[in-house]
């Protein structure tokens, strides 16, 4: 149980007994937010990183178990190199801070994606944060960096096929899931995409099979705790049937 029992908001009431276990967010709209203000796109990424810090703290206070954010896709390398470098610098700064704060804030941190293309400095920081996780019991924040759903599935399929050949067992979903970056993490209950776009852009393609989707026009740097409340309240009104029929 998190901080509050029932929490009133403008949009309705958050039911603390029916919180999603796992919330995922496509942190989109940083560039447009900056453009609207006549600022360089990189200022939007810096503002977006701040909002991530705030929303992660809020999710942890609410009692969400897993928060997964999409920070950089396998396709985002197509962007101008100064923008990519600025995003990587923000990520490095965030990891430095996280190492200092994660125990105090009781938040575990995991990086999902192909880290082999990241700088040696960032890879070392990722290892340092991972080493601290064992001592932490609180929310798990997953940051997707150089993450792509298709390459994740392909990589897992290759590894699972090798397992199947070795063991002589028939390849099944469970064997494949063991090799996804998200291994051991439940599928997201709720996926939020701000910025008005209504697509997944290669995010959690396997894991989103039965996720509830929520779209809002707010740009990520404008996203607030209230907006998250609204998304969760909307989620709580949905009937999740997983292909079955609604229980009477
Ligand atoms: C999301 O914001 C951050 C990354 C993809 C790295 P964008 O940079 O995509 O912002 P828009 O979509 O151009 O506004
Ligand atoms: C998705 O946003 C990736 C992240 C937010 C990290 P993009 O801005 O890259 O997606 P598209 O290009 O609009 O589909
Ligand atoms: Mg975008």
92 CA to centre of ligand 3 in angstroms: 21
- Asked if residue 12 is part of any domain, the answer here is no
Cα-based distances in Å from 152 to 8, 74, 156, 175, 231: 39, 10, 6, 14, 27
Q: How many domains does the chain have?
A: 1
- Asked if residue 89 is part of any domain, the answer here is yes
- Asked if residue 6 is part of any domain, the answer here is no
- Asked if residue 4 is part of any domain, the answer here is no
219 CA to centre of ligand 3 in angstroms: 10
- Asked if residue 241 is part of any domain, the answer here is no
- Asked if residue 247 is part of any domain, the answer here is no
Check which CATH number belongs to the domain holding 108 and give it. Answer: 3.40.1180.10
Nearest ligand to the C-alpha atom of residue 71: 2
Q: Model pTM?
A: 0.96
What's the whole-number average pLDDT of the chain? Answer: 95
- Asked if residue 248 is part of any domain, the answer here is no
DSSP string, 25-79: EE---HHHHHHHTT--HHHHHHHHHHHHHHHHHHHHHHT-SEEEEEEEETTGGGS
Question: Residue 27: CB within 6 Å of ligand 2?
Answer: yes
76 is catalytic: yes
189 is catalytic: no
* Catalytic-role residue among 5, 15, 76, 142: 76
**Domain housing 117:** 19-234
- Asked if residue 77 is part of any domain, the answer here is yes
pLDDT per position as a tens digit, 122-170: 999 999 999 999 999 999 999 999 999 999 999 999 999 999 999 999 9
The low-confidence residues of the chain, meaning pLDDT below 70, are: 1-11
pLDDT of residue 6: 55
Contact 11, 229 (CB under 8 A): yes
């Amino acid at each position: 149980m998190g901080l509050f029992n029932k929490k009133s908001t403008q949009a309705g009431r958050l039911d603390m007994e029916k919180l999603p276990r796992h919330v995922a967010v496509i942190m989109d709209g940083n560039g447009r937010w900056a453009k609207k203000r006549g600022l360089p796109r990189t200022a939007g990424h810096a503002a977006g990183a701040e909002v991530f810090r705030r929303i992660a703290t809020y999710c942890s206070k609410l009692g969400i178990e897993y928060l997964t954010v999409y920070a950089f896709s396998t396709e985002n390398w197509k962007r101008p190199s100064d923008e990519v470098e600025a995003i990587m610098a923000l990520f490095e700064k965030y990891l430095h801070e996280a190492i200092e704060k994660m125990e105090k804030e009781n938040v575990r941190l995991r990086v999902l994606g192909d880290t082999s293309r990241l700088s040696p400095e960032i890879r070392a920081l990722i290892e340092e944060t991972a080493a601290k996780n064992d001592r932490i019991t609180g929310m798990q924040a997953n940051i997707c960096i150089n993450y792509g759903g298709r390459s994740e599935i392909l990589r897992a399929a290759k590894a699972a096929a090798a397992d199947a050949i070795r063991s002589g067992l028939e390849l099944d979903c469970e064997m494949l899931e063991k090799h996804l970056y998200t291994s051991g993490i439940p599928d997201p209950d709720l996926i939020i995409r701000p910025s008005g776009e209504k697509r997944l852009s290669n995010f959690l393609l396997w894991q989103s099979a039965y996720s509830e989707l929520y779209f809002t026009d707010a740009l990520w740097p404008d996203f607030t705790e209230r907006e998250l409340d609204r998304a969760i309240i909307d989620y709580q009104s949905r009937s999740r049937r997983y292909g079955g029929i609604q229980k009477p």
